[in-house]
Structure 1
Amino acid sequence: MSDDSTSLDLLENLRTLLARLAPGDRLPSSRELIEQHRVSPVTVSRVIAQLAAEGAVVTKPGSGTYVASRAKDRGPAPDTGWQTIALSDRSIDTGPVTDELGPVPNGAILLDGGYLHRTLQPTRALSSALARAARRPDAWDRTSANGLTPLRAVFAANSNGVTPDDVLITAGGQSALSMALRAIVAPGSPVLVESPTYPGALAAARAAGLRPVPVPMDANGVRPDLLAEAFAMTGARAFYCQPTFHNPTGRVLSQERRGQVVEVARAAGAFVIEDDFARLLGHGGPVPRPLVEDDRDGTVVYVTSLTKPAAPSLRIGAIIARGPVMERLRAVRRVDDFFVARPMQEAALELVSSPAWDRHLRALSAALRERCTQLTAAVTRQCPDWDLGHPPAGGLHLWIELPAGADAVSVSRSARDNNVAVSYGNRYFAAETPTACLRLAFAAATDTPELLEGARRLGSLARHGGIVG
């Protein structure tokens, strides 16, 4: 937090300085900025890089940093109106992954988001892994479309009966999900999803020209009887699900239903796309086996990632599939991006092969359990009318049903006005009328005291009528 505050202070000071200077004027040197503002060289470099990205300054190696020309000095704005006609009515629906309330204010308590706070990330282990990977003589060579064999072996080892040949390395879980949907389902076709579900899946499906069709869940996960009806009524050829620590509800598909779901899909001649993003985010209890382990006919296409348990920018994931669908997936990979950057694959392999990785996962499990317990107790105490259901045994979120008459978007807006960011539940529903729900993250905040303060502010809103739309 202190590094972020220092960067923001320097950024504001330099913007004030830029307003007084003319285009082409030279800014103070990095050494002068360090001495004048008492900041580190890293902070100066970061702030200058941000100003350059914004187009406010121009850096000239060996010479210095200069004020960029103003917009009015760059000639008339380009006329891009012709693009509206050329693009026709095609569009990418980013609604499910776009917050209609806008950016989160600086300094707000983050009870939103799907990644670990920096204090929970294995930062030192990541840095060491990346340094070791960069020293490899072949680090910058091309790799196969499938990915590094040793890294594929790591993912294969996590699922019984899976071999490295069944694994395709991807640039994170979202990329894997997008590839799987496009490889399996034809444009214009339906794809079945749990209700509620992960907004990124809805966005990826719609971007591929697919029509998400919701299938209801209960406390034990998706209902197999309704899943069978949905397959019969729609003719869908794929069902996307998160059987373990579901996002957003945190539910786990019951042991009895796990086999039933696969059998229902197999009978319909369809695939199950199993998103197992949270397998390494358990809170210390037993974690059920993935569906793919008990699948022998290639019904299950399995998607996983190292991003959630490590850090947002470790964009390494994997797809496990068998049969012709794997050939289709490899074809998608070849036309999309050829292969995932080798240095990142090497760094991921170094990370998960080190003793530090196991230590991190144990520490993370304990930290998530503590945060989940503390936030659950605080929200229950501060907001007694909010229904938290059964606390999750894994994952990063609490799923809360608001009292009758509440509007989730209005609650989220009121919370943000009080510097608490929460996620409204509307965007987790594919087509049905959304239940008034909130998703509260317990891994994105700085620490437990910040979580408790966030719950206190939400309780104040609830007590003063801030939950009614």
Structure 2
Amino acid sequence: MSHSSSDRIAQALREWVASAPAGTRLPSTRELVAHHEASPVTVQKALRMLMGQGLIESRPGVGTFVCTAPVARPQDYGWQTAALGSPQRSLPRPTAALRATANDMITLRSGYPDRDLLPERLVRAALTRSARGTSAVTRPPVAGLPDLQAWFASELGQLTPPGVAAPAAGDAVIFPGSQSGLVTAFRALVGAGESLVIESPSYWGAILAAAEVGVRLVPVPSGSHGPDPEDLDRALTQTGARAFYAQPHFANPTGAHWSPELSEAVLDVVKRHGVFLIEDDWAHDFGIDEDVVPLAARDEDGHVVYLRSLTKSVSPAIRVAGLVARGPARDRILADFQAQSMYVSGVLQAAALDVVLQPSWRSHLRSVRSQLASRRDLLVSAVRELIPSAHLDAAPRGGLNLWLRLPDHTDPHQISLACEQRGVAVAAGDDWFPAEPVGPYLRLNYAGPNPGAFPEGARIIEECLQRPQG
């Protein structure tokens, strides 16, 4: 019997237990096998599910019984208030983009691509091979598997212009996802109490990482085309910040893609001030109308610290990212990472490398590009036709999101709640501002499931916008 058979039996038993008095004896395994026309193994698996949930209990030699409902009593954790003291820093609340949504909802807030956009067959095969190999029982090097380091470095090296030294494999450090890389980079390169310039709006995870480290954020405005180099120059001059965090390619949430001219201008500002540019290339594999050429490919002096994750393009289950840095900066980053995490699972590293080295990986990315283009165009059309009260500045040339400006004086959190009550999950834009929001926004993700429901979702958003807000 399949896994779904045990789930089906467990659900039937769960309903039976809910209506049975505590202490009631369940039918024997033989009776359950006959009733559900299942194998003993499948029935036992279903029973173990209910035992794990505390609904039934087994009494050896007697049988299986419905558990007595525990009497709840209030817990007193007041002593912890004195033990913990006042929090040293206030961390941002978890973003709505990470909240799970019901299967029957129209999902426009997910931060991850739909399962249909992932190389599932490649991932399953790679995990199987990795689990059977030596990586399942050995500790990998601190900086990562050498072959995976070399792959991240070569991905940059292929885009390096003539005359510019390409990064070496030893310049790369493997992290368990980009969030870990951001925390380490901010702590090693900036430090608690120091300033970090950041685009506004920007990735909420970077804002969270800065709060975790205790870095003071200095926002510079960034729209659909990126930041103004003069604003960046002014912020670095006034604050003496050590680094600038940015997403030059299909930024989350705005979708901004820097032009070559802007990229050169920003690099000039960074070099003139002698600071680091922490380049988050999160959407490297999600270009639609343009390919990504990282700024790090044009930097050989160690000003750009480059971060690229495979979590979104390969699988959320394979949290692997590569950070490329040169000189003492790389040494500090590696030392901090070793103190915090020691190393990344060799099984996950080997699986990630297996996927990206398969010949079909490139054809998969071409397919994803085409599918994202169709999904983006469908949502853009629905927004412009069915949400006339809102404004979409530009259709992004890659990435996963639309950045929708709502009418002035709209409360995006109320709109988000109203939409959710109508079966549409959207994310209020406030989470992406490192300081006060400059206006009400929604971030709409076009990489989620059921793109055919995008027009209906847009219609519901407009109806919620037209309702009076209390």
Please give the TM-score of this superposition, normalised by the length of structure 2. 0.87
**What per-residue deviation string (whole Å, max 9, x for no partner) do you get for residues 318-353 of structure 1?**
111001111111111211121000111111111111
SS of residue in 2 equivalent to 1:273: strand
Q: Does 1:278 align with 2:275?
A: no
CA distance in 1, matches of 2:47, 2:117: 28
Q: Does 1:316 align with 2:315?
A: no
User: Size of the alignment, in residue pairs?
Assistant: 461
- 8 Å CA contact retained: 1:104, 1:416: no
Cα 1:88–1:132 change in 2 (3 A) is same
> What percent identity do the matched residue pairs reach?
38
Amino acid at match of 1:372: R
Moved more, 77-86 or 20-29: 20-29
Q: CA deviation at 1:91?
A: 5.9
Q: Does 1:363 align with 2:367?
A: yes
CA distance in 2, matches of 1:301, 1:286: 22
- 8 Å CA contact retained: 1:115, 1:311: no
**What per-residue deviation string (whole Å, max 9, x for no partner) do you get for residues 386-422 of structure 1?**
2111101111111111122322112111111110000
CA distance in 2, matches of 1:39, 1:224: 67
Amino acid at match of 2:212: A
Q: Does 1:373 align with 2:374?
A: no
Q: Does 1:201 align with 2:206?
A: yes
CA distance in 2, matches of 1:276, 1:363: 20
SS of residue in 2 equivalent to 1:159: helix
Q: Does 1:87 align with 2:84?
A: yes
Amino acid at match of 2:173: L
Amino acid at match of 1:398: L
Q: CA deviation at 1:366?
A: 0.6
Q: CA deviation at 1:247?
A: 0.4
Q: CA deviation at 1:42?
A: 12
Cα 1:170–1:55 change in 2 (3 A) is farther
Q: CA deviation at 1:80?
A: 3.6
Q: CA deviation at 1:94?
A: 4.7
Q: CA deviation at 1:4?
A: 12
Tell me the residue number matched to 1:216: 221
Tell me the residue number matched to 1:237: 242
Alignment match of 1:113 (pick from 103, 110, 114): 110
- 8 Å CA contact retained: 1:242, 1:274: yes
- 8 Å CA contact retained: 1:302, 1:320: yes
Alignment match of 1:153 (pick from 150, 156, 159): 150
Q: Does 1:430 align with 2:450?
A: no
List alignment gaps of at least 5 residues for structure 2: 158-165
Q: CA deviation at 1:244?
A: 0.2
Tell me the residue number matched to 1:385: 389
Tell me the residue number matched to 1:459: 462
SS of residue in 1 equivalent to 2:220: strand
CA distance in 1, matches of 2:244, 2:59: 53
CA distance in 1, matches of 2:98, 2:312: 24
CA distance in 1, matches of 2:327, 2:38: 57
- 8 Å CA contact retained: 2:224, 2:254: no
SS of residue in 1 equivalent to 2:402: strand
SS of residue in 1 equivalent to 2:235: helix
Q: CA deviation at 1:309?
A: 1.2
Tell me the residue number matched to 1:298: 302
Q: Does 1:250 align with 2:250?
A: no
List alignment gaps of at least 5 residues for structure 1: none
Please give the TM-score of this superposition, normalised by the length of structure 1. 0.87
CA distance in 2, matches of 1:453, 1:34: 45
- Quote the RMSD (CA, aligned, Å): 3.5
Amino acid at match of 1:231: L
**What per-residue deviation string (whole Å, max 9, x for no partner) do you get for residues 179-204 of structure 1?**
11111111122211101011111111
Cα 1:246–1:71 change in 2 (3 A) is same
Cα 1:53–1:295 change in 2 (3 A) is farther
